[in-house]
Each structure stands twice: as structure tokens, then as C-alpha cells.
Amino acid sequence: MRLKFYLLIPFLLFFLKIGFTQNLEETNYPTNISSRSFLDRTEFKVSYFGNTFWNNGLVFGTEYLWKEKQKTKNRKRGQRTNTHQFLLNGNLGFTTNFSTKTDTGIFTNYGVTWRRTNKKGKQFSITVNPLGYYRSFLPETYEVKGDQVDKVFLPGRGYYAPSISVGIGKQRKGKKLTGRFFNINFMLRTPYNAGALPAFNFQYGYRFNFKKKKRDAKNN
Amino acid sequence: MQKIINTNSKLLFLIVILWTVFSCSKNDNLNNLDETIFVRHKDADMPAYIHGNASEKVFLIILHGGPGGTGLTYRANTIKSDIEKECAVVYFDQRGSGMSQGSYSENGISVDIMAEDVLALVKVIKHKYGDDSRFFLMGHSWGGTLGTSALLKDQSDFSGWIEVGGAHNTQGLYFEYIANFKRVASEQIEAGNSIDFWQGVLDLVNNVNQTQYNEDDSSKMNNKGHQAEEKFENDNVINKWKNDSSRTIFKYNILTTLWTGNKTQSILGDQGLWEDLNYTGRLPEITVPSLILWGKHDAIVPPKFAQEAFDNLGSSNKELVIFERSGHSPMFNEGPLFAEKVIQFINENK
């Protein structure tokens, strides 16, 4: 019974797609971004990072536009064009529990962001950062080996810390701050104790760039 | 010379003031310690939160329950308001618990290693506050297992042992749950208290494996024990649970503590913690002064084990106190009496 149900699902999805996309056409136009300068393709971002109750911190990051294409769909209500971008991104962050200072750390991660922007500037993005490193910083720490007790210099531990973020945002054309975003971030710290430690955090922040104003005005 | 003094009089005055302030501050700090230090031992970094009056260098180390509990849960009620005035209280997050971190395999966590962690903590405190420091060890619930294990390794640094609803015999819990629940359920049904609940308890214990340990049944009975204590509260058999440490919630990331604590509990369970561990036969080796504190209505570690500890501990100076209006945690049910007994014991043996 369960097997039949699983077999039915792909067919249902197929018919659903046929039904909703009758008479609809989709066209993809890769955007030529190679002519844009490095600064034009680069944006910076700063955001709050934490879960408000326990950990709070800041993240600074940068994004570099790698690929972009315009996707136009002919809907019954008219044409809809979305911009799809792939961006290379890197971040450097700091987080702490102000109450006990037992969970303080800095982290850095690198990966790829896929972002869709509609004509109203509303954005949806997924970021995968497979390369990540978290370094915890502990208060006064003493190491015990046998009967020997020594104070540890710069106590803390390093963890491999990949992360995934899913979020929404809004493009702000012609503004100094070119966009704002809200992400939910999932980061794994491993090896942590006898396994790995999952952590969920919110990210709310702004993007900005150093594009030349005149060109911006012309483009917008 | 006079000229130099006159010229630098303001500077000299400032130096004298600063000297006085800092000279006093050290003493003031010892009177009212508020420190967090980490103990690094065998690939784990474990926080010890030290609060209270260390002017006499008397430290009470509290081992939390669980496994996988948190040290600062106990920084509440009369432990904070009364006991911290008498001595410094060390709230310790054990390996794989609370905000402890580290990097080790599943073999890197065991009752033995965790007991060595406790002894490592003592060495760190002596290193920091002086070799003339004196220690009392308190273990609640699983902390009773761990404390017993630590004392059996080395009790020379301890001036006293306080077992509070302690599981020094985890192996014996399974069958005592069955016997205790049958007795208590009958009493409560007879008294007309939460009859449906206690009838359900009777059904449960009549249907669990009666001849050998079963992990699922053990877990079900442990959960029933926690529910039973809520019923005791509602039926006014024990005092209401009081824990005024509301800010503790901001000190521990719930996801972190639950995740690591559950993992630790699971590893120790797989190693046979609930099935095989029994220190009763070795309790005579513990000869330091001992105080056994137990709730009369403890449904998690039934009171039979209080008498077992008292009868078997090797100390010539030992006392058993049963809290008539308490369950598994007398420090939260009868805080004032709990503090009175602990302070009296420390003062008599420090």
C-alpha cells in the first residue's frame, strides 16, 4: 500500500506541473557580467548573528557575483521576470553568551549563495558554506595532567563548522545600503565532545557596496 | 627630598589609594567569589562556576544529576542565599554536560574518566586558591554515582561527603522501582490521591519484566517517577518545588545542553550504567564524614537506597536525614532545612 502511494506521488507532481503550466513558456537569458568591474560584482554585508536568548554576535561578509541569468515566465497574468544569481561568499563572525562567557567564539566560512530576486526586489536565498572553521575562546583555564596543573594560554578549541542558511531579503535600489536580509542559519561544530553540535541562529543585516554612484544612477 | 615629595604628592596619594583599594579587593573577592574557570582534562574543557565565601578556603563541590544535567541549576534557593555565605560553592558542568566542550571519542567518556575529572577539579582549585583549601563533595542523583566513584579513587582531599538522593547503586534501581511503586501506589490509592494515575502506575509495574532488567521498562518507570513527584506536589504530599534561579535559563543554551546531555546519557547507558553499576559493596571504603540526605517520597531514587548508603558507608561519623516533605530534590522542596543540615555538617567537619 505504502509503495503504491510512493509511486503515485511523482505522477501527481507531473500532472500538477502540466496543469499549471499549460500555455506557459519559460525563457532563460544568461546575463553578461564579465564586463562589470570587480567592485561592481562585489557586495559587503554586516549582520546580527545569534539566537537572542543565549548567543549574540556580529557577522561581516562579502559576496562576489559569479553567475547571473534572467528567467522570464509567461504567466496567465502576464510576464514575470526573476533574476537568479550564484554568488561566492565569505564571512567572518563573532558570537558570545554575555551571561557566562562560556560560549564565546569567532568563525569564518566560505561557500556559494543562490539568490532569486523578483521584479519588486523581493529576494529568496539559500547559502551553503561547506568550508567553515569555529574557534571557541574560554575564560581562565587550567590543564591537569597527572599531578601537574598549568594555566592554558589562549584557551579554546577549533572546530570544523560548515553551515547552511535559508533566508529572505529585499533589494534597495539606489540606496547606500543595497539590501537587507533575514536568514535562519544552521551551523554544525564537529568534533564537539563525543559527537557534533548543531546550532541554529538568526541573521539580520544589510548589504552595501562601493559601486560608483553615476553608474548606479544610470543603471537604475 | 621634601621638594620631591611636595611635587609628587598627588601621585603618591593616588598610589596609596590604589594600593589600599586593590589590597582590599582581593580579600573582598574571597569573601564573595564570582568566578568561572575551566578545567581541561583528558580532551575536555569543563566549566566550574565558583560563588560564595571562600575566606576560609572551604569549597563545596556540587555534582549535578543526569547524567547530562547542569551545574548552575543548583544555584538557587538556600544554596545561594545561605550556603554560599558559609563557604564557596563550586557548580561544575561535568564532561559532556552543560557548557562543557571538548573533542574525544565515545571511549573518552565513562564513569571512571568523569570521576578523574572531579579529582582534576580539586587539583585546579588547590592550584588557584592554595594547598590549604578544604573540600566537601555533594552528589545529587547521578551525582551520587559520580561522587562515590571519585571518592573511591581518592578521598584524601575531602573533608566530607554529602549524598542527596544519590544513585550509588544504579543496578538496583530497576527492581526497587517495581517494589517501591507497588507500595506507594497502594498507599496513595488508599489515601484517595490521584487514583487514576496510581492505578496506571500499578498497571505499568505489573506489566514490566519482573525477572530481568529491560531498558524500555526502566525508562518508562523513571518517567513515571518524575510524574509521580508532580502528583505528590498536587496532592500536598510534598512541598511545592521551588527554584528561584530563573536567570539560569539564560546561562545555558537549551539546544546545546539537551543535545550534549542526551548524547552523554546514551553513551553511559550503553556502557551499562543502569544495568551493571553497583558501588554498595565498596561503600565501606569511604571513610570520610558522610551526610546522607533523602526525600521520604523520592520516586526517582527510592529511599531504600538512603538506608543502604547509611548502613554501608565506612565512616564512623555519618548521619542520615530523611526530609518528610520532599521528593527527589530536598534542596528544592525543603530548602531551609536542607541548608541547615549542610551548613551544620560543614561547620562540624571543616
Q: Which of A104, A134, A142, A152 to probe by mutation at the B interface, max B CB count within 10 Å?
A: A142
Q: Is the pLDDT of residue B72 over 50?
A: yes
Q: Cβ of A97 under 8 Å from any chain B Cβ?
A: yes
* CB of B340 less than 8 A from some CB of A: no
Query: Distance (Å) from the C-alpha of residue B205 to the closest C-alpha of chain A?
Result: 35
Contact B75/B248 with Cβ under 8 angstroms? yes
Verify whether the Cβ–Cβ distance A198 to B108 is below 8 Å.
no
Residue in A with minimal Cα distance to B38: A141
B66 Rama class: left (phi>0) / alpha (psi -120 to 50) / beta: left
Q: Which residues of A touch B118 (CB under 8 A)?
A: none
Q: Cell 503515485, residue?
A: A8
pTM of this structure: 0.86
Which CATH number fits the domain B32-169+256-349, given the four candidates 3.20.20.70, 3.40.50.10780, 3.40.50.1820, 3.90.180.10?
3.40.50.1820
- Whether A193 sits inside 8 A of B128 (CB atoms) is no
The predicted pLDDT at position A177 comes to 87
Q: What was the pLDDT predicted at A34?
A: 75
Mean pLDDT within B100-122 = 96
With a cut of 90, say whether residue A131 has pLDDT above it: yes
| Whether pLDDT at A25 is above 60 | no
Q: Which of A135-139, B6-10, B151-155 has the lowest mean pLDDT?
A: B6-10
Whole-number Å distance between alpha carbons of A42 and A35: 13
Residues of A in contact with B247 (CB under 8 A): 99
State the smallest CA–CA distance between residue A38 and chain B in angstroms.
41
Q: What is the pLDDT of residue A71?
A: 86
Tell me which residues of chain B, numbers 277 to 316, contact chain A at a CB-CB cutoff of 8 Å.
Answer: none
- In this prediction, residue B7 carries a pLDDT of 55
A127 neighbors A164 (Cβ within 8 angstroms): yes
**Mean per-residue pLDDT, B20-28:** 43
Measure the CA–CA gap between B254 and B242, rounded to whole angstroms. 20
Confidence label for A154 from pLDDT (cuts 50, 70 and 90) = very high
Strands B134-140 and B58-63 turn out to be parallel
Please check whether residue B166 is in contact with residue B286, taking contact to mean a CB–CB distance below 8 angstroms. Answer: no
Confidence class of residue A220 from pLDDT cuts 50, 70 and 90?
very low
Q: pLDDT tens digits, residue range B127-155?
A: 999 999 999 999 999 999 999 999 999 99
Looking at chain A, the whole-number percentage of residues with pLDDT higher than 90 is 60
Q: What is the pLDDT at residue A75?
A: 76
**Range with the lowest mean pLDDT among A170-174, B50-54, B86-90?**
A170-174
What is the pLDDT confidence band of residue B23, given thresholds at 50, 70 and 90? very low
Whole-number Å distance between alpha carbons of A200 and B206: 43
The whole-number average pLDDT for the span B215-226 is 95
Nearest to A139 among B37, B250, B256 (CB): B37
pLDDT band at A192 (very low <50, low <70, confident <90, very high): very high
- B39, A192: Cβ pair inside 8 Å? no
Contact B62, B76 (CB under 8 A): no
Cβ distance B45 to A193 less than 8 Å, yes or no, reads no
Which B positions 37-76 lie with beta carbon below 8 A of chain A?
37-41, 44-45, 47, 49
Cis peptide before A30 (omega within 30 of 0): no
Lowest mean pLDDT among A29-33, A50-54, B273-277: A29-33
Mean pLDDT, to the nearest integer, of B35-59?
97
Q: What is the pLDDT of residue B147?
A: 98
What integer best gives the mean pLDDT of chain A?
Answer: 85
- Tell whether B90 lies on the interface with A, counting CB pairs under 8 A: no
Task: Decide if B265 touches A, using CB distance below 8 A.
Answer: no
DSSP letter for each residue of chain A: -HHHHHHHHHHHHHHHHHHHTTT--EEEEE---TTS-TTTTEEEEEEEEE-SSS-EEEEEEEEEEEEEEEEEEEETTEEEEEEEEEEEEEEEEEEE-TTTSSSEEEEEEEEEEEEEE-TT-EEEEEEEEEEEEEEEE-SSEEEEETTEEEEPSS---EEE--EEEEEEEEE-TTSSEEEEEEEEEEEEEEEEBTEEEEEEEEEEEEEE----HHHHHHH-
A55 Cα to chain B: minimum distance (Å): 8
CA A11 to chain CA centroid, nearest Å? 33
Q: How far apart are the first and last CA of chain A?
A: 57
Provide the pLDDT for residue B13. Answer: 56
Q: Does A184 touch chain B (CB under 8 A)?
A: no
Among candidates B41, B49, B101 on the partner chain, residue whose Cβ is nearest the Cβ of A193: B101
